[in-house]
Amino acid sequence: MIDTDGKIELAGLTSEELKEFVLSLGESAFRSKQISAWIKQGAQIDEMTNLSKSLREKLAKASYVHGVEITRSIVSKLDGTEKYLYTLRDGNIIEGVRMRYHYGDTLCVSTQVGCRMGCRFCASTLEGCVRNLTAGEILGQLLAVNRHIQKLEGESAHIHNIVLMGSGEPLDNYDEVIRFLRLVNAPEGMNISLRNISLSTCGIVPKLYSLADEQLPVTLSISMHAPNDAIRKQLMPIANAYTVDEVLKACRYYIDKTGRRVIFEYALVKGVNCSEADADELSSRLRGLQCHVNVIPLNSVQERDLSGPDEETIKAFIKRLEIRHISATRRREMGDDIQGACGQLRRSYLKEADV
Ligand code: SAH
């Protein structure tokens, strides 16, 4: 990507593109390997000490590594979950979260500044979408966090898994998200397996088909949140564009193409989508589909008039799915003390800063 000041974002380049860029500066191709190794470590240009000073100056004039800087981090006392606020090169703020699981650390990354999908329960979308993130900025979140945790916890600390579940709708920023997936998966890059990456989407149907055809078998998570169109329309404007049937048909295609099961996210919203009849309807809809349902009690958002149901309703809903042979679990709520839900931390920061 070329920024407004004409500089190239190195983290967003493939190894081939980086080589071309280095050649265009009149340098030999092998320098690109050295630069690439530094990028992987999250270093900035002035730290690339095996390059001559004059090359570093030349590089800095024409490029930067990535424009993502951790501005604030907050660690949950409950479970070690860590939230980050990042400042981008143009001053925009995004947020992310690192979750500690027994199978490794997972980083939740944002794909846009804000979001334009308008889901009624989500804080990320309250002010619409400011802009798309570049692939380098999505990768930059990972590079910045790896660096941050390595400084604090030692060289071996690093992110194992990535979920594209932060602010933004990944399939509304399709090209940059696909580029990011290829970069993060590249053996000469971060080399993170696609099986360790989940992409969560509200279900932009044509893009689901495109994704299935990319041969990037990431775990697909669909934010379903309803058993039928009428209820889904109450919660998610995207339901006016695509029916539940159309979403499910695209999921079937994804499963056929990738051999991977699909995850359905289902946030329980009191009085809207959590009756036993809703669970029954969802079960019949999903019957025969290779899938799993992640049930999430709604995280209340201050600006929204919606809340989660009581414990009994949550348990009954999951039980009802299980009785009907739909695999379902309750998603662990993490970082409750540090505003774990989407977009909440960024919003409170922006309010505090009055921007
Ligand atoms: N735009 C993408 C990814 C971002 S949201 C998507 O729609 O999937 C990540 C997940 O968190 C989605 O399943 C979203 O519906 C859910 N979510 C958003 N706000 C929430 C809240 N207040 N409580 C529970 N889940 C929420």
State how many domains the chain has: 2
Q: Which residues are catalytic?
A: 95, 342
Share of the chain above pLDDT 90, in %: 84
pLDDT at 203 over 50: yes
pTM metric for this prediction: 0.94
CA of 320 to the centre of ligand 1 (A): 23
Tens digits of per-residue pLDDT, 312-330?
Answer: 999 999 999 999 999 999 9
Q: Judge whether 3 lies within some domain.
A: no
The pLDDT mean for the chain works out to 93
Q: Whose CA is nearest to atom 20 of ligand 1?
A: 122
**What pLDDT score was predicted for residue 60?**
97
**What pLDDT score was predicted for residue 32?**
96
Q: Are residues 21 and 142 in the same domain?
A: no
Q: Whose CA is nearest to atom 18 of ligand 1?
A: 122
**What pLDDT score was predicted for residue 355?**
40
CA of 81 to the centre of ligand 1 (A): 18
Atom from ligand 1 closest to the CA of residue 167: 4
The CATH number of residue 37's host domain is 1.10.150.530
Tens digits of per-residue pLDDT, 22-45?
Answer: 999 999 999 999 999 999 999 999
Q: What is the 3-state secondary structure (H, E, C) of the chain?
A: CECCCCCEEHHHCCHHHHHHHHHHCCCCCHHHHHHHHHHHCCCCHHHCCCCCHHHHHHHHHHEECCCEEEEEEEECCCCCCEEEEEEECCCCEEEEEEEEECCEEEEECCCEEECCCCCCCCHHHCCCEEEECCHHHHHHHHHHHHHHHHHHHCCCCCEEEEEECCCCCHHHHHHHHHHHHHHHHCCCCCCCCHHHEEEEECCCHHHHHHHHHCCCCCEEEEECCCCCHHHHHHHCHHHHCCCHHHHHHHHHHHHHHHCCCEEEEEEECCCCCCCHHHHHHHHHHHCCCCEEEEEEECCCCCCCCCCCCCHHHHHHHHHHHHHCCCCEEECCCCCHHHCCCCCHHHHHHHHHHCC
The CATH number of residue 250's host domain is 3.20.20.70
CA of 122 to the centre of ligand 1 (A): 6
Q: Which of 44, 64, 84 is the endpoint of a domain?
A: 64
pLDDT bucket at 106, cuts 50 / 70 / 90: very high
Tens digits of per-residue pLDDT, 129-152?
Answer: 999 999 999 999 999 999 999 999
Domain extent for 101 = 68-354
Q: Are residues 59 and 160 in the same domain?
A: no
Q: Are residues 50 and 112 in the same domain?
A: no
Tens digits of per-residue pLDDT, 43-85?
Answer: 999 999 999 999 999 999 999 999 999 999 999 888 889 999 9
